[in-house]
Chains A and B, each alone.
Chain A
Amino acid sequence: MSMITMKNVYYQYPLEKEQVLKNINLSIEKGKVYGLVGHNDAGKTTLCNVIRGFIPSFYRGKLTGEIELDGKTIQEYSMGDLATRIGYSFQNPFTQISGVKETVFEEIAYGLENLGTAPEVIGEKVRELIAMFKLDALQEKNPFELSGGQKQRVALAAIIALDPEVIVIDEPTSQLDPQGTEEIFKIIDLMKKKGKTIILVEHKIDLIAAYVDEVIVMSQGEIKMIGKTSEVFTNKEVLTYGGQLPQVALLSLALQNAGITMPTIPITLVEAQQAIEKILSREV
């Protein structure tokens, strides 16, 4: 079932000469994880802003085309309804912190308070998130007195706390160390198992390849490719759009140039390991 549908969507920021979204046609299925990838300024964040309704209500500009959320056009929802149904984490984690709360604990509770959740429920929920995001040691700290990566974890925890059906996350791991990054991908996987629909903007292609169901490749305001992760990342066309392929796929292309052909292009470490073991044992 389609959770979000876009038909012939175009968008132009106010005072700008060119459209930054062109002919966007897309169906986001309920319960799936989508990786939204592409070069800098491809229009990924802009597309997220359209889905969340910040465009056109906050950014203005010229938006045309049809956008539906769960069977109803997006105009039929109030901003408040959209906020509860779609959790959105901004690209820059530094702008996500509310600025009105003095501890990490309160920061995560803030959105729930705004929704009028009962205090006992809030406490329980926040403790659950603190455990999930490994924020125990930071819960009494002032959100402004955190390192960049710590702020980013708190920002994402605050969104997940609201338990939205759709989660749009714009580069949630950009400031995270490699282990922290993998933990976030595991949390995303957990959200998927809970039935959430997730749109994830990411440059960490190797992890995208291992975790998402479908990949959307954007370039210069257009969707250039869309399909199953295994189909998109085994296609070198991604590179021509300024996108990136997983390291192991790049390895198989480099091997091919050296006259060594893998039976199939791997996109995960396990696939690569199996393929190379076969080559080395001369099974192929």
Chain B
Amino acid sequence: MTFLQLKDVSFTYPNGFQAVQHINMQFDLGESVAIIGQNGAGKTTTVKLMNALLKPTSGEVLINGENTSKFTTAQVSKKVGYVFQNPDDQIFHSDIYSEIAFGPKNQKLSASEVKEKALHAAELCGLTKWLEEHPYNLPYAMRKFITIAAVIAMDTDIIILDEPTAGQDRHATKLLVDLINHLTAQGKTVITITHDMEFVANHFNRVIVMAEKQVLRDANAREVFWDHELLGKSHLKQPYISQLAYSLNLNEPIITLDEMVSAIKRRINS
């Protein structure tokens, strides 16, 4: 059943610039969805509309069928957690534990529950050994995990990650994959904005492509990565393995390394 829905949503910033136009999207509980698309397409604006950091200029955002315009941003943020694109917009405590515990504390949970949620989130994000550090002593890419943990600790139904892959290494990217799987297995919806095509090809089925204020496509990764016209319009590229398959004229819509290995094996054996 649809849990979160954007119905014909448009948004104009206070300076008069319209950033998104007639957006329609819907998400079920337990889904993992990637949003990709060109810089300035309106991805961040769209997800900020989902958790009511921004209010639609026209159209509706519905959670469980209810229009969120009735609720305050604080109320919506109990359902929809948003991890900012820039971690430094989100961090304001002087040690990592307090940063992560802030959300559950605010939800008026008991001291033991706050601690349990914060420590669990920290562990999922690989931060257990840094809890007493000042957030700014950790490099940018690791600060991002502090903000992810802070949102996970709030235990919302929906978690939005705005470019969590930016500047991450192999190990951290794997941590992200495990984290997303863990959260969706718990029935949560995770929406991930990313510019990393390999990450999307390997770990997502459903992909939403945005360009020029609008949604151009909502489909599976394979369809998206073999539609050259769509990729061109949205300033995207095929994953490297697909580019290779294309230049080799393999005539197979390959999107992962394993698929490429099998395709080559099959050709050698035939």
Contact = CB atoms under 8 A, between A and B. Distances in A.
B171 A177 contact: no
A9 to B, nearest CB: 19
A92 B141 CA distance: 9
Interface string A118-154: 0000000000000000000000011001111110010
B188 interface: no
Contacts of B139: 40-41, 45, 91
A178 B39 CA distance: 9
Interface residues of B, number: 48
Contact of B257 (A13, A40, A45, A250): A250
A255 interface: yes
A179 interface: yes
B39 A279 contact: no
A91 B140 CA distance: 7
A181 interface: yes
Contacts of B137: 13, 16
Interface in B37-82: 37-40, 44
Interface residues of A, number: 51
A266 to B, nearest CB: 9
A119 B5 CA distance: 51
A8 interface: no
A202 to B, nearest CB: 9
Contacts of B171: 39-40, 242
A61 to B, nearest CB: 12
A115 interface: no
A222 interface: no
B244 interface: yes
A38 B167 CA distance: 11
B13 interface: yes
A70 B244 CA distance: 42
A255 B264 contact: yes
A175 B139 CA distance: 16
Contacts of B265: 258, 260
Contacts of A251: 241, 244, 257, 260-261
Contacts of B172: 40
Given A94-B88, A148-B39, A150-B39, A269 B170 contact: no
A255 B39 contact: no
B163 A148 contact: yes
Contact of A148 (B85, B169, B236, B240): B85
Interface in A206-260: 206, 242-244, 246-248, 250-251, 254-255, 258, 260
A273 B248 contact: yes
B94 interface: no
A112 to B, nearest CB: 25
Interface string B130-163: 0000000111111000000000000000000001
**What are the 4 A-B residue pairs with the smallest beta carbon separation, nearest first?**
A149-B39, A178-B237, A179-B235, A247-B240
